[in-house]
Amino acid sequence: MELLLTAGGLRNETLRDALREMLAKPFGSANVVYVPTASVAEPGDHGWFVADMNRLHSLGWSEFDVLELNGLPRQMVLDRLLHADVIYVAGGNHYHLARSITGNDLADGFLQALESRVYVGMSAGSMIFSRNLTGHSADVIGDAKDLQVLGATTVEPPFGLFDWYLKPHLYSPDFSERDDAWADHIAARADFPIYFIDDDTAVRVRDGKVDVVSEGRWRLHP
């Protein structure tokens, strides 16, 4: 299983090179599927979403598919995941994304696809792998409102692969409150490890080994 879990997508050459290495063939010879599901639960301007999709598309894939996880037959979704070499899951509301995977009974099939494909997450797409993706962590992190807006108070982690949690957009100008004091406040309350990463950073998982790829800044607590 190979995961490249970014905060801001493939914004710099270091992250793009990491994906090239993981894919082990040119982008022009590979198929990518772009999953926008998390984004549709976010209100307001979606220019960030368009920019992310265009950034990925500009890499010159053999095939660029777009796949919504809700409303399609389960097997159709899984077949299109399996058709791709790279599964790219966009940002937005990570609770909506998690609930879409579990609610549509996609978790097992998704994991099967990931056994032989490269996964790239952007923001919400990077946050769904922790077993600590729960109502408790929502309270600790301070984003319970993103769960409540869905009419929910609890969430089931769709994969539960890691004990650590990923929190994106550290030091981001789009999230001005996410500074060191913000991270310190969360870390002091958390009873699980947290990677705080900025928009030029990714947590990479390859064959069970975890490291960080970055042109920016990041923190791991504890």
Question: Contact at 8 Å (CB) between 161 and 129?
Answer: yes
pLDDT given at position 209: 97
pLDDT in tens, 139-176: 999 999 999 999 998 999 999 999 999 999 999 999 99
Question: Contact at 8 Å (CB) between 121 and 5?
Answer: yes
pLDDT band at 16 (very low <50, low <70, confident <90, very high): very high
pLDDT given at position 79: 98
* Three-class secondary structure of residue 222 per DSSP: coil
pLDDT band at 37 (very low <50, low <70, confident <90, very high): very high
Question: HEC states along 17-80?
Answer: HHHHHHHCCCHHHCEEEEECHHHHHCCCCCHHHHHHHHHHHCCCCCEEEECCCCCCCHHHHHHH
Mean pLDDT, the chain, rounded, equals 97
Nearest to 143 by CA among 100, 189, 112: 189
Q: Please state, for a pLDDT cut of 70, what percent of the chain lies above it.
A: 100
pLDDT given at position 168: 98
pLDDT given at position 50: 97
pLDDT in tens, 59-105: 999 999 999 999 999 999 999 999 999 999 999 999 999 999 999 99
Domains of the chain as residue ranges with CATH: 2-221 (3.40.50.880)
Main-chain dihedrals φ then ψ at residue 199, nearest 5 degrees? -75, -5
